[in-house]
A and B are shown apart, each in its own frame.
Chain A
Amino acid sequence: MSLLLLAPLFLLGLGTLVVPVIVHLIHRHKRESVPFPSLMFIQRIPYKDVRRQQLRHKLLFAIRCLALILLALAFARPFLENATEATAADIAGREVVILLDRSHSMRFGDRWQRGVEQARARLDLLGPFDRATVVLFAETAEVTGENAIERAEPTAGGTRYGSALQLAGRILSESEQPEREVVLITDFQRSGWDRVSDVRLPGGTIVTAVDLSEDETHNISLPFVSLRQEVLSGREWVSVTTRVVNGGERQVVGLRVALVLNGQELQSHTVTVDPLGSTAVTFSPVLLPEGVSRGAVTAGTDALAQDNTAVFVLSPSNSLSALILESSDARENQSLFLSRALEIGDRPSFRVDVRPLREFRLSDLDGRSVLVLNDAPLPGGRAGQRIREFVENGGGLLVVLGERNGPQTWPANVVDLLPGVVGARVDLDRGPITMSTMEYGNPVFDVFSAPRSGDFSAAKFFRYRDLTVDDPQSVLARYSDGQVALAEKRFGDGIVLVWTSTADTYWNDLALQPVFLPFVHRMMRYLAGYEEVRPFFIVGETLKLTRESPDKSIQALMDGGGDLVGQAPSGNRTIVQAGAGEQVVELTEQGFYEIRQVDGGKIPPAFVAVNIDPSESDLAKLDIEEFLGAVTPMGDEGSVGARARKLTVEEREHRQQLWWYLLIAAMLMLVAETAISNRLSRVAR
C-alpha cells in the first residue's frame, strides 16, 4: 500500500513552512519601528542578541508547521494505492457483488488461497455505507455469507461465468445503492465463458477483474478414456485407451501412465508429451472380471492433481435379443440383411433368432427386447394377444411391410397396434423414389442429423405399401413422393414401428447402402428402449435412479425396494427413497459414488464413476478485455473505463476522500494554534 497524490503540485505549498520560521526568526529583524521617548536606559542594558534566534514557543511553531503540512497534503488530494485496489474510504454507498470462482481449476497451485485473500481484502475495504454480497460460483452460483469464505473449498465442477454474472446482475438490479460494482475474482479460464451467452450487467456497473491466473502453467490431464469391450473365445475383454494432454509449454518426459483395475495396477506406459500437445496411450486388452469393476488411469501428479486421474466403471455388456418372424413362404434370404446387420456391433450386441411365423410359440417372446415381423402378417388368436401384451409391457415391434402382409392380413384383435391402415402395394413404374424427409428429432434418425452423417437419398425405392396414418405426427420418414416410409405408434409401454418397404433388396436397395446398418441398429435400440451404461459421468451431471436404468445393478437396487443411500467419494451421503419414483443424485465430486441399500441388504451396490470436466483442465486464459466488454452494458462509458479494473486515480481519490480528513485535522491544528497563542499573549501581558 502506498500513498499517491492526485495534485502533487500543491505540495509546493509546503514552502509556506518558512512563513512561521520567518515569523519566529527573520521577521523580527525587519519589524516596524516603534517610537520610544528615549533609549538611554535600554542602551545601558547588556543585551544578548542570541535570543532573537531562538524559537520562543516551540509547541506553537510545531503546530503551525503541522497545520501547513496538513493543508498542503489536503490540497494535493492524496489517496492510498492498494495492491488489491479499492478502498475503505468509500463514503458513498456501493452495492458490491464479489464473485469468487471456486471451480476445479482454482485448485491449481495457490489460486484458491489467493482468491480468498482477495475477497477478504475487498470486504475489509468496504466503507460504512457499502453493502456487499459474496457469490461463490462454479457450474452454478450461490450467495454465501462473508464469514463462510474461509471455510469454503473449491469444487470439482467446471466454470460457468454466465450463471455467476446473471446472479450478480439480479442482485445489482434490485439494489438501491447509488454505485454498483462487481468484483470478479477468478482465473479467467477460457472454457468458462460461452460467447453465445448474452449476459449483461445493469448499466453503470463497474466491473473489477481480479486475475488469479499465472503467466505460465504446467498441467497434465486425462480428458479422454475409451473402453472397448469385446467377446473373444466366450470371454469378455476390455481395451482401455486414454489421451494424455500436456497443457504446459514445457515438454514432459518420462511420464508414467498406469491402468488400475479394482485397486490393482495392471499395466503402465512411460510417455513423452510435447508442449501444448497430447499423446494417446492404449493398454493391452485385459480380461473383464465378473460383476462390476472400478478402474482408473493415472498420469503422474502436478499442481492440479485431480485431473491426472480418470476413473471408470466396467460391467459386462448388455445384449439385446430380437426375434425375426417371416412368413412360411418367405423369399430366400429375406431376413439375411436384417440378421447380419444386427449381429454386427457390441454396444449393444444383439442376439437374433429368425423363425417362420408358423413356428411361433408364445414363450418365444420371453426375454426378448424386439419382435420383427419381416413381410409377415400379425398372427391372430392367442399369438396375436401375446404379441399385444408383449408390446404393452414395453417390448418393441417392428413391422416390415411387403408382399405378404397386405390389407387383408391383419386380424382385428391386433390391428390397433399399427399406427395406421395398411393399404395396397404401390409400384413406382415411372422410376424409383428416395427417402426425402426424416424426423431428425426422433432417436432413430438423430445420429443422421449432422452433415455427412448418413445419406438416405442414395437408396432407391421401387415399391412400397401404402400406409394411411391416423396421426400425421406419427410419421418419422417419408418418401420423395410424400408417402409414409416409417411411422410409429406407442402402445402401452412399448413402441411399434412400421417400415413400408422391404428389409431386403426386393423392393429397394437400402440394404445395400452404408446407412442401412446404423439405421437398423437405431431402430432396434429405439424399440428396445436401450440406453448405454455409461462407464463414467462428468462432475455436474446427475444420476437418475429408476427401474428403467440401463445399469442393471441400479435396476436391481430400485427393484429391491427400501431406501437407498448414495455415498460420495468424500463420504457425504444422500438418502434416496426407493418408493418415491425417479430419484436424482447430483454428482459433484470426482471419484466413485456408491449406491447401496440403507439397511445393508443383499443386493450388491452400484458404482458410478465421476471425472473432472475436461474443460477444467484447459487452463488457457481468455481475453479479459473482450470478456469484460461482453458483459458490461453497451455504451456504458463508466463501465468501459473500468474494464481493465483500473479505476481512474480520480475515482480512487474521490472514493477515499482523505483530503477531507486532512483538512479537518488542519482546522483543528489552527484552532489549537489560536487558543495557545491567545493564552500565551495573555500570559505575556
Chain B
Amino acid sequence: MFGTRARSHATGARFIDPNILARMDNLELVARTVVDGFISGLHRSPYLGLSIDFAEHRPYMPGDDIRRIDWRVFGRTDRFYVKEFEADTNANFSVVLDISRSMDFGEAGIRKLDYAKFLAASLTYLSSRQRDRVGLVTFDSEIVDIVPPSAKHLEVVLHTLERARSTRGGSLCEALRKIAEVFRRRSVIVLISDFYEEPSAMMSAVNALKQKGNDLIVFHVLDPAEINFTYDQPVNFEDLETGEQLAVVPDALREQYQTMLREHREMIGRLMGDNRVDYGFFDTSMPLDLALFKYLSNRQRMSRVR
C-alpha cells in the first residue's frame, strides 16, 4: 500500500519507511499504520490500570499472559480467549517533545522533528488504545504548547503535534524544569529530543521530571548525517540553534566528531540507566515501527527483570 521497504524479521512484521510516513498528512493514520501491524499481542501494557471492568474477549495471541485466559470460554468453545478490561484511565501518558531549531534537521529525507512527531503520535495512539489519558508538551527554550492529559485528548494531541513548528533555539534544561512543574499527577512521560546538552546538566533537569513518581522514558532522536558526519566537501556549518557559522573540513574532523558523539550518547545512556530512566536511541533512517518494536521488546525484557 505504501510501497514499503520490506525486510525480513523474526516476527514477520513489515517495517515502514519514515520517508513514506512523512507523505501522509494525517498523524492519526500514521500512528495507526505504525501501531496496528504488530502491537497487538506484543503489548502487555505496563500502563494497565486497576480497572476490573470487563470490556471484551479477544483471541489469545502468543505472548499474552496465560493468567488472563478466560477458562470458561475455553470450556465452552475449546478455544483460548483473553479477557480485555477497560483501560486504567487513572494513568496519564504525556509526550514531552523538543521542537527547538536543532530538531528541524534532516538529511535522510525526513526531519528529526517529523520523525519525533510520528514517534509521539504512535505512542500516544498506542496509549490511547490502552485507555490512558494522553497529553503533550512541546518546548524549545520555553514551553510552546501544553495539552493536558485526558482520555479524550488524542485528537488534540495529534493536532497539536501536526502544527508544531521549530522556530527558536532550545534550552533543554531550563525547559524541562518548567515542564516538571506541569505534571502534578504521576504520569508516564516520554521525552523526545536530540539532547544537545551536557549530559550531566541535562540529567538534573531530567531528574526533575522523574520526581513525583513519573515514569520517564527518553527517546534520543538523531539524523544519520549527525551520527556519521557524512559530509564530503568543505562547508560552512551553521548552527541551527544559534546561527553561528563555522568553516569545516569534514574529512579532517569526522573521526573525532563521531567519537565525541558516540561518547555523548553513551554518557546519556549510562546516566539514564543509573537514574532508572528508559533510554531509547532512534536513527531517523530506521523504520519507525521497527524502532518501536525494538524498543518495546527491550522494555518488556527490562520490565521482567525489574
Q: Which residues of A contact B (CB under 8 A)?
A: 28-29, 31-45, 47-49, 51-52, 681, 684-685
Q: How many angstroms between the C-alpha atoms of A299 and B261 in the bound complex? A: 108
Q: Show 6 A/B contacts (Cβ-Cβ < 8 Å), sorted by A.
A: A34-B231, A36-B105, A36-B240, A44-B260, A47-B252, A48-B252
The reply to whether B234 and A52 contact each other, CB–CB distance below 8 Å, is: yes
The reply to whether A33 and B235 contact each other, CB–CB distance below 8 Å, is: yes
**4 interchain residue pairs of minimum CB distance:** A37-B102, A38-B196, A33-B238, A36-B237
Q: Taking A37-B226, A45-B257 as contacts, is the C-beta distance between A31 and B196 under 8 angstroms?
A: no
The reply to whether B241 and A38 contact each other, CB–CB distance below 8 Å, is: yes
B residues in contact with A43, CB < 8 Å:
246
Q: Taking A41-B260, A41-B261 as contacts, is the C-beta distance between A33 and B237 under 8 angstroms?
A: yes
Smallest CB separation, A160 vs chain B (Å)? 77
A residues in contact with B196, CB < 8 Å:
37-38, 40
Q: Taking A42-B237, A45-B257, A684-B232 as contacts, is the C-beta distance between A37 and B105 under 8 angstroms?
A: yes
The reply to whether A52 and B260 contact each other, CB–CB distance below 8 Å, is: no
The reply to whether A34 and B260 contact each other, CB–CB distance below 8 Å, is: no
- What's the dominant secondary structure at chain B's contact region? mixed
**Interface assignment of B174: CB less than 8 Å from any CB of chain A:** no
> Which one of A37, A42, A43, A684 has the highest number of Cβ atoms from chain B below 10 Å of its Cβ?
A37
B residues in contact with A32, CB < 8 Å:
235-236
Q: Which residue of A lies closest to B222 (CB)?
A: A37
**Among candidates A31, A36, A47, residue contacting B253 with C-beta atoms closer than 8 Å:** A47
The reply to whether B105 and A39 contact each other, CB–CB distance below 8 Å, is: no
Q: Which residues of B contact A (CB under 8 A)?
A: 101-103, 105, 112, 194, 196, 223, 226, 230-242, 244-249, 251-253, 256-257, 260-261, 264
The reply to whether B245 and A33 contact each other, CB–CB distance below 8 Å, is: yes
The reply to whether A37 and B260 contact each other, CB–CB distance below 8 Å, is: no
The reply to whether B247 and A39 contact each other, CB–CB distance below 8 Å, is: no
A residues in contact with B223, CB < 8 Å:
37
The reply to whether A42 and B236 contact each other, CB–CB distance below 8 Å, is: no
The reply to whether B260 and A45 contact each other, CB–CB distance below 8 Å, is: yes
Smallest CB separation, A58 vs chain B (Å)? 16
A residues in contact with B242, CB < 8 Å:
39
Smallest CB separation, A52 vs chain B (Å)? 7
Q: How many angstroms between the C-alpha atoms of A36 and B238 in the bound complex? A: 6
Q: Taking A28-B247, A29-B247, A51-B249 as contacts, is the C-beta distance between A39 and B239 under 8 angstroms?
A: yes
**Among candidates A33, A41, A684, A685, residue contacting B257 with C-beta atoms closer than 8 Å:** A41
Q: Taking A36-B105, A37-B105, A38-B240 as contacts, is the C-beta distance between A52 and B246 under 8 angstroms?
A: no
The reply to whether A41 and B238 contact each other, CB–CB distance below 8 Å, is: no
The reply to whether A38 and B239 contact each other, CB–CB distance below 8 Å, is: yes
Smallest CB separation, B296 vs chain A (Å)? 27
The reply to whether A681 and B105 contact each other, CB–CB distance below 8 Å, is: no
A-B contact count (CB 8 A): 85
The reply to whether B246 and A39 contact each other, CB–CB distance below 8 Å, is: yes
Smallest CB separation, B259 vs chain A (Å)? 9
A residues in contact with B236, CB < 8 Å:
31-34
Q: How many angstroms between the C-alpha atoms of A51 and B234 in the bound complex? A: 10
Smallest CB separation, A29 vs chain B (Å)? 7
Q: How many angstroms between the C-alpha atoms of A34 and B298 in the bound complex? A: 36
The reply to whether B239 and A31 contact each other, CB–CB distance below 8 Å, is: no
Q: Which residue of A lies closest to B241 (CB)?
A: A38
The reply to whether B232 and A681 contact each other, CB–CB distance below 8 Å, is: yes
The reply to whether A37 and B240 contact each other, CB–CB distance below 8 Å, is: yes
Smallest CB separation, B139 vs chain A (Å)? 16
Q: How many angstroms between the C-alpha atoms of A28 and B232 in the bound complex? A: 12
Q: How many angstroms between the C-alpha atoms of A32 and B247 in the bound complex? A: 10
Smallest CB separation, A645 vs chain B (Å)? 58
The reply to whether B246 and A42 contact each other, CB–CB distance below 8 Å, is: yes
The reply to whether A42 and B230 contact each other, CB–CB distance below 8 Å, is: no
Q: How many angstroms between the C-alpha atoms of A49 and B246 in the bound complex? A: 11
Smallest CB separation, B19 vs chain A (Å)? 19
Q: Taking A37-B194, A37-B240, A45-B253 as contacts, is the C-beta distance between A31 and B235 under 8 angstroms?
A: yes
B residues in contact with A48, CB < 8 Å:
252
Smallest CB separation, A65 vs chain B (Å)? 20
Q: Taking A29-B247, A45-B256 as contacts, is the C-beta distance between A36 and B239 under 8 angstroms?
A: yes
Q: How many angstroms between the C-alpha atoms of A51 and B247 in the bound complex? A: 11
Q: How many angstroms between the C-alpha atoms of A47 and B241 in the bound complex? A: 22
The reply to whether B237 and A34 contact each other, CB–CB distance below 8 Å, is: yes
Smallest CB separation, B268 vs chain A (Å)? 13
Q: How many angstroms between the C-alpha atoms of A51 and B248 in the bound complex? A: 10
Q: Which residue of A lies closest to B263 (CB)?
A: A41
A residues in contact with B251, CB < 8 Å:
684
Q: How many angstroms between the C-alpha atoms of A32 and B248 in the bound complex? A: 12
The reply to whether B240 and A52 contact each other, CB–CB distance below 8 Å, is: no
The reply to whether B105 and A685 contact each other, CB–CB distance below 8 Å, is: no
Smallest CB separation, A213 vs chain B (Å)? 68
Smallest CB separation, B284 vs chain A (Å)? 12
Q: How many angstroms between the C-alpha atoms of A684 and B252 in the bound complex? A: 12
B residues in contact with A37, CB < 8 Å:
101-103, 105, 112, 194, 196, 223, 226, 239-241
> Which one of A38, A42, A43, A44 has the highest number of Cβ atoms from chain B below 10 Å of its Cβ?
A38
Q: Which residue of A lies closest to B253 (CB)?
A: A45
Q: How many angstroms between the C-alpha atoms of A38 and B102 in the bound complex? A: 7
A residues in contact with B252, CB < 8 Å:
47-48, 51
Q: How many angstroms between the C-alpha atoms of A32 and B234 in the bound complex? A: 10
Other 7 A-B pairs with CB < 8 A, given A31-B235, A47-B252, A684-B232: A31-B234, A33-B235, A35-B105, A35-B240, A39-B246, A42-B257, A47-B248
Q: How many angstroms between the C-alpha atoms of A39 and B236 in the bound complex? A: 11
Smallest CB separation, B226 vs chain A (Å)? 6
Q: How many angstroms between the C-alpha atoms of A42 and B256 in the bound complex? A: 9
